[in-house]
Structure 1
Amino acid sequence: MKIIKVNILLCLLALVLGSCEDFLESRDKGQVLEEKLFVNKEGVEEAMYGLYYTIGAGELWGAQLPTIMDALAQYLTLGTYSTENSGGFEELMLHNHESERSTTLFGGIWTLGYKLISDVNKILENLDSWGYKPLKHMDLYRGECLGIRAFMHFELLRMYGSCNLSKRGIPYVNNYGMWVTPFSTTRECYDKVLKDLNEAHTLLLEDENLLTYPRKPVNAYDQFTSYRELHMNLYAVKALLARVYLTRNEPGDVDSATMYARQIVDSKKFPLPTGANVGPDHFIRMMSGTVAQDEGIWGIYKSDTYSALQSLFLLEKGSFLAADEKMYEELDPARGTDHRSNWIRVPSASTPEVSEKLGMRLMKLINASVFNTANKEQAPIGYSGSNIIRVPELYLMLAETLIEKEPTEALRYYNEFISSRGLNTEESITKEDVDKQFWREYLQEGQYWFRLRRRQVPEIEVEPALANAKGIKTIQMDENKWSLPIPDSEFEFREDGSY
């Protein structure tokens, strides 16, 4: 027993003396969910960190998933475009979902998403039958698990499920085991997502005090309550509730979405940049391989985002470029300067020749100081990782949902947002204005395709280089285009081969 106590004290001392990054590094690893973990709080927390590791995997929010969704939304083009070096991405961008490239990518997301859900259910099963020393943070553990389970199901639902509430959704898996879970309708899936989120909301109320602004320093003696923006926290759950209600759009849902969005924005825990921070340097540093220090409601810690992203965006040939290099330019200089333009720029490389060769690149998520160690002044601010939910979404949601009922309030939220991006305030706005700002804000974050899906736009304009190469100007959207294909393997163990 003395040896155990000494070891614990040594660990705590090392944590106190070490840097915050060192502590976070110790969490950045995968963990097999074994029975031996679930005997004490250290084991439970190790399993919890394993969930976040999976969310940040390259196939999910670490790199591929947002890029795939942006390709579908026609945000991207392939450098030195040709069908020979495209790796099949042109079929993905054209919404030819049955192509080999598309089915491989979509199948990987589906499989890893349900593995995450299985791991969540394993933890919940052990927490529900807990027979060891009482856990101080039982509510936080369960709340985070339920929030993650709802989040992953909702993401899969709005990728693979039907837009029609009465048609096929996805299997909503809330038990750990090998049996086959039947498909639920889209409406039933929404009900189950909301049930999990509402329970998570109740369990995570402690975050009202734990997640503050300015952020609290790390608590070396109670590590799990530190860095709450890197956990599925109360405000992430509120943001998800707002997303889900706005997407479902049943009677009363818009009001519910507005309520939760207001709670987050009005909490002032996730401030937009103001004053000296509204400038080009801040917009280079706030998103470059980091969880946005102030605006990040929830992000995933990853010690190295650069290696996962550089092959997607920095190769001389074949990497993705912005479909519209000038998307942040204003025709009227009087409207101000959009500092998000620094998210598409010529990277500052070790030599001018390399920079010139690369040309304009998507640099929003790239750590410029890793790309070139001479770029010290462009080092990120915040913790290394990937953003999942940022507060601009909620400002724009409020501008959209209040534009008819409370136009003055809608304009206030909209102006607060665009001012933080360097643009001058407006005297009136339309839903098209809000949509334009969302389009500008969420490049490389995989959210705009879901916005198009929610609005059920009848067609999507094909990215110009691809349109010229294929002779296809627009994609006519329908149920099959909006619902990505579920892997064939999902139906192997169903008696009639169907859902």
Structure 2
Amino acid sequence: MKKLKYILIIFCFTLHYSCDSFLDVRPEGEVVNNELFKNAEGFEDAIYGVYSTLAGPSYYGRTMTYYFNDILSQYFFYDYPGDVTLKICNFEYKDATVRPTIDQIWGGVYKNISYVNNILENLEGRDESSLPLYNVYKAECLALRGFMHFDILRLFCENIVNNPSAQGIPYVDKYDLKVSPFLSAEAAYGRIIGDLKAAEEIMSENGEYFENADQQNNEFLKDRQIHMNLYAVQGMLARVYWMKGDLKTAAE
């Protein structure tokens, strides 16, 4: 009987310890996230990850540069029955062979926006004392967020010049699972411009023209011509104002 008591005590202790250990286990993604953003290298890797994804064939490495957009513009298609390019050219957006391309653009770009939001949220509470390039990271991410929302807006929404009350897109600025509501096109343009102007202000204050940055001994500041730098932000603002119909501000 005494032996049975000892066995039960050991069993209960083991069960209690095991349950506590199980409850202490943190989700894998959370651990990776905390580890990633513990230093400057992690933030830079995350930003490079956004650029790398956008350069893939599903985005600006093919589909959104010279494939889907060019077909919509009637630049080319393959004229044989059942070919997907012909269906895209005819704007058959609900066709089962066309839909995956559209869904990839919409869902994939918003996924990249979530990556940027994750970086921005992890920058909160930090400053130049812990991250010397804090302002560079923040400005690039704000600019990338505005840029990606703008491309979704121009691809999927009616031109605001033709219809000032046109429906816009969801503008996502939080890293969470909540569904963001659709905004009007006018409101979406306002949010895009807000992010780009905020990025422009930070970059201007910090002298972030890429030819000066190249002189600094920092790998992330080299080759600024292939980053979302100040020239890119100002060029993007000109495009946004032009698409919005504000030609005077676009020219400025």
Residue number in structure 1 paired with 2:70: 70
Structure 2 residue 148 is matched with structure 1 residue 155: no
Residue number in structure 2 paired with 1:243: 239
Structure 2 residue 115 is matched with structure 1 residue 124: no
Q: How far is the alpha carbon of 1:208 from its aligned partner? A: 5.0
101 and 76 in structure 1: CA distance in 2 versus 1, 3 angstrom threshold = same
Query: C-alpha deviations, 1:462-499, integer Å up to 9, x for none?
Result: xxxxxxxxxxxxxxxxxxxxxxxxxxxxxxxxxxxxxx
CA distance, structure 1, for counterparts of residue 166 and residue 87 of structure 2: 26
Residue number in structure 2 paired with 1:102: 98
AA partner of residue 92 (structure 2):
N
1:153-302 correspondence to structure 2 within 5 Å: 153-163=149-159, 164-205=163-204, 208=207, 210-212=209-211, 216=214, 221-249=217-245, 253-259=246-252
Kept after mapping to 1: 8 A contact 2:241/2:250: yes
Residue number in structure 2 paired with 1:58: 57
Moved over 4 A (4+): 206-210
Kept after mapping to 2: 8 A contact 1:40/1:132: no
Query: C-alpha deviations, 1:62-119, integer Å up to 9, x for none?
Result: 11122100001011132xx4225x2x22110111211122211110001110001000
Q: Describe the SS at the equivalent of 2:74.
A: coil
Q: How far is the alpha carbon of 1:174 from its aligned partner? A: 0.5
Question: How many residue pairs align between the two structures?
Answer: 218
Residue number in structure 2 paired with 1:82: 80
CA distance, structure 2, for counterparts of residue 248 and residue 224 of structure 1: 33
CA distance, structure 1, for counterparts of residue 32 and residue 55 of structure 2: 17
CA distance, structure 2, for counterparts of residue 70 and residue 76 of structure 1: 7
Structure 2 segments unaligned to the other structure (5+ residues): 1-30
CA distance, structure 2, for counterparts of residue 197 and residue 33 of structure 1: 29
AA partner of residue 39 (structure 2):
N
Kept after mapping to 2: 8 A contact 1:210/1:225: no
Q: How far is the alpha carbon of 1:212 from its aligned partner? A: 2.6
Residue number in structure 1 paired with 2:23: none
Query: C-alpha deviations, 1:333-392, integer Å up to 9, x for none?
Result: xxxxxxxxxxxxxxxxxxxxxxxxxxxxxxxxxxxxxxxxxxxxxxxxxxxxxxxxxxxx
105 and 123 in structure 1: CA distance in 2 versus 1, 3 angstrom threshold = same
CA distance, structure 1, for counterparts of residue 80 and residue 199 of structure 2: 48
Q: Describe the SS at the equivalent of 1:205.
A: helix
95 and 61 in structure 1: CA distance in 2 versus 1, 3 angstrom threshold = same
1:437-456 correspondence to structure 2 within 5 Å: none
AA partner of residue 71 (structure 1):
I
Q: Which has the larger radius of gyration?
A: 2
Q: Describe the SS at the equivalent of 2:59.
A: coil
Residue number in structure 2 paired with 1:143: 139
Q: Which structure shows the higher helix fraction?
A: 2
CA distance, structure 2, for counterparts of residue 178 and residue 216 of structure 1: 39
Q: How far is the alpha carbon of 1:165 from its aligned partner? A: 3.2
CA distance, structure 2, for counterparts of residue 83 and residue 206 of structure 1: 57
Query: C-alpha deviations, 1:148-202, integer Å up to 9, x for none?
Result: 0000000001111232332321100011101111110000000000000000001
131 and 154 in structure 1: CA distance in 2 versus 1, 3 angstrom threshold = closer
Residue number in structure 2 paired with 1:47: 46
Kept after mapping to 1: 8 A contact 2:116/2:141: yes
Output the TM-score relative to the length of structure 2: 0.80
CA distance, structure 2, for counterparts of residue 170 and residue 162 of structure 1: 11
CA distance, structure 1, for counterparts of residue 210 and residue 191 of structure 2: 27
Q: Describe the SS at the equivalent of 1:100.
A: coil
CA distance, structure 2, for counterparts of residue 36 and residue 131 of structure 1: 18
CA distance, structure 2, for counterparts of residue 77 and residue 102 of structure 1: 13
Aligned CA-pair RMSD: 2.2
Structure 2 residue 30 is matched with structure 1 residue 37: no
Residue number in structure 2 paired with 1:23: none
CA distance, structure 2, for counterparts of residue 77 and residue 35 of structure 1: 47
Structure 1 segments unaligned to the other structure (5+ residues): 1-31, 260-499
Among all aligned residue pairs of Structure 1 and Structure 2, give the percentage whose two residues are the same amino acid.
34
Q: Describe the SS at the equivalent of 2:183.
A: strand
Q: Describe the SS at the equivalent of 1:179.
A: coil
Q: Describe the SS at the equivalent of 1:184.
A: strand
137 and 209 in structure 1: CA distance in 2 versus 1, 3 angstrom threshold = closer
Q: Which structure shows the higher strand fraction?
A: 1
Query: C-alpha deviations, 1:114-167, integer Å up to 9, x for none?
Result: 001000000000101338952111111000000000000000011112323323
CA distance, structure 1, for counterparts of residue 206 and residue 64 of structure 2: 28
Query: C-alpha deviations, 1:214-253, integer Å up to 9, x for none?
Result: x957x5x31111111111110110011000000001xxx2
Q: Describe the SS at the equivalent of 1:74.
A: coil
CA distance, structure 1, for counterparts of residue 143 and residue 103 of structure 2: 23
